[in-house]
Structure 1
C-alpha cells in the first residue's frame, strides 16, 4: 500500500464526524426557527396582557370605591345590587320618590334568594309592585309584569280586602316564605330601594 495515499477508514471517519457536526448545526438552527415561530404565533402579546391586567385592576378599584361609597351611606350589598332600607315611614308614592332621588327605585324581587334576603329584615316594607294602572294586573316599577312563577303572595293575597283599593305591594308575613300582601298605597310603611351595581 502506498504511504502517500490517505487511509480510507480515516477519511470515512472524518466524513462521518463532519456530517454529524453539520447535522447538529442544522438541528440547532431548526430548533431555534421552530421556537421563534411558535413564540411569535402562540405567545400572548406582553403589552396586551399588561393592558388587560391594568384595566381589570382599575375596574376593581372603581367597584371597591363604589362599594365603599354606598356602604358608608347605609346601603347593603346583595347579589349585584345595593339596597337602602329606610328608617322612617312614607306612603308608597313618597317612598318611590325617595328612591328615585337616590337614583334607584323601589325593590324588584326577582328570585327566591332575593325574597329571603329581604325577609331577614323582619319589617313591613313597600316593594316596587303595584296594580294601580289596571286592577289585578300587577307590575313592577320598571313596567314588567309580575310572573306567577316568581311571586311570593301570602295565601289569599292579593285580595283588595273588603273591596278596598289595595293597589301597592308590601312584605308583611315575614315568618313564611310567601310573605307579600296588597295594601292601601297611602298607608305609611318602611320601604326598600334597590340600585343595580354599575
Structure 2
C-alpha cells in the first residue's frame, strides 16, 4: 500500500500543467500527460494553443523532451508527436508535409502492427530500448501529447530618444518592453543597442542586463554609445532579449543622429536649435539695451530741465522787450522777490 501511495504522489508531482511551456532555442514545448486524446484531437488541441504536435528532428530535441517524461512511470505512456504515414505506408511525414529525416525510432519500429498503425508517439517506458524513442500506433488510440510552437520574440514598438550628443559619444534612452504595448512574449532579460553608419552594416554597440522582475512594467533605460567619429551620422536601434538561446527579438524603430564636430559640444537641445536660441538671446539683449538707453536719456533730460527752470525770471509788467532800453532781467538774489527788485531799481534811478 505504501508503494502505491508513493507512486500516486509521484504521478501528481510529475503531472505537467497545460499552461507550462518549456523553451529550447527558438521553440516552446508543452508536454501534456493529462488530456488523453486521439491523434486528430491532440492535433486540434495544440492548434487551439497556437501550436502543432511536436516535430523532433535532432538528438538535442529528443533528449530535451525525454527529460519531461523521465523517470518512466510503472505504467507505460506514449506521447503523440507530429509524425504519420497516413498518405503512403512507410513514408512518414511531419504535419507540414516534409519528409521525416531524423531516426528516433525504437528497436524494430515502425512495424505497422496489424496494418493500422499510422501515427507516431514518444515512449515513456521502463524498457530502456523504448524509453525516449518513437513507436507507431493506431491514430484512434487515446494517448498523451506534446505540442510545439515557435517563440514569439519580444519587439519594441517605439525607438530610442537622443539625450546627449558630443563628438565621440551619444546617450540614448528608451522605454522598457511592456507586454500589453509591445510585441512578442517575455520575460525580457536584457537589451542590445546597435548603431550603423549611413554606408555601413549594423554593429552591436553594447547592452544592458536587467535586474528587475515582471512587476516593473515601465522603466526608462539609458545607454551611452562611445568611440564614435566626430561629424558622423549614425542610425541607432534597440532590440529586446528574452531568456534562452536565440531569444533576441527584432531591432526596433531607429533614430538618426549626427555627432558634432571635434572641439564643440551640444546637448540634446541640438545644434540647429542652439544656434537659433543664441540668436534670440542676442536679439533680446540688444532690444533691452536700446530700451535702457532711451529711459536713461529721458531721465537725464528731465533732471536738466529741473536745474535750469529756477534760474529763469519773469519780466516786470510795463516793460516792452522791443524797447532798446529793455534789459533782460537777471537772476534774483537770494530772498528777493521780483517787486522788491523793481522798487530798488526805480529808487536808484
Shift in alpha-carbon separation, 1:145–1:85, aligned structure 2, 3 A: same
- Within the candidate set 97, 101, 109, 1:157 is matched to 109
Equivalent residue pairs, number: 125
**Over 6 Å off, 4+ runs:** none
Provide the residue aligned with 1:98 in structure 2: 45
Pairwise CA distance, 1:118: 1.3
Pairwise CA distance, 1:164: 2.7
Residue 56 of structure 2 is aligned to residue 83 of structure 1: no
Q: 1:24-173 maps to which residues of 2 (within 5 A)?
A: 73-86=19-32, 87-122=34-69, 123-147=77-101, 150-161=102-113, 163-172=114-123
Indicate if the aligned counterparts of 1:128 and 1:141 stay in contact, CA closer than 8 A: yes
Q: Which residues of structure 1 form unaligned runs of 5+? A: 1-70
C-alpha separation between the residues in 2 aligned to 1:179 and 1:107? Answer: 14
Pairwise CA distance, 1:197: 1.2
Pairwise CA distance, 1:103: 1.2
Shift in alpha-carbon separation, 1:74–1:146, aligned structure 2, 3 A: same
Shift in alpha-carbon separation, 1:171–1:72, aligned structure 2, 3 A: closer
Secondary structure of 1:170 counterpart: strand
Shift in alpha-carbon separation, 1:136–1:74, aligned structure 2, 3 A: same
C-alpha separation between the residues in 2 aligned to 1:178 and 1:159? Answer: 17
Indicate if the aligned counterparts of 2:122 and 2:132 stay in contact, CA closer than 8 A: no
Of structures 1 and 2, the larger Rg is shown by 2
Bigger helix share: 1
Bigger strand share: 2
Q: What is the TM-score when the length of structure 1 is the normalising length?
A: 0.59
Secondary structure of 1:167 counterpart: strand
Secondary structure of 1:102 counterpart: coil
Secondary structure of 2:43 counterpart: helix
C-alpha separation between the residues in 2 aligned to 1:156 and 1:144? Answer: 23
C-alpha separation between the residues in 2 aligned to 1:178 and 1:121? Answer: 10
Q: Which residues of structure 2 form unaligned runs of 5+? A: 1-16, 70-76, 153-349
Task: State the superposition RMSD in angstroms.
Answer: 2.0
C-alpha separation between the residues in 1 aligned to 2:115 and 2:68? Answer: 28
Residue deviations 1:43-85 (CA, integer Å, cap 9, x gap): xxxxxxxxxxxxxxxxxxxxxxxxxxxx993211122111112
Q: What is the TM-score when the length of structure 2 is the normalising length?
A: 0.34
Pairwise CA distance, 1:172: 1.7
Shift in alpha-carbon separation, 1:169–1:72, aligned structure 2, 3 A: closer
Provide the residue aligned with 1:18 in structure 2: none
Pairwise CA distance, 1:173: 5.7
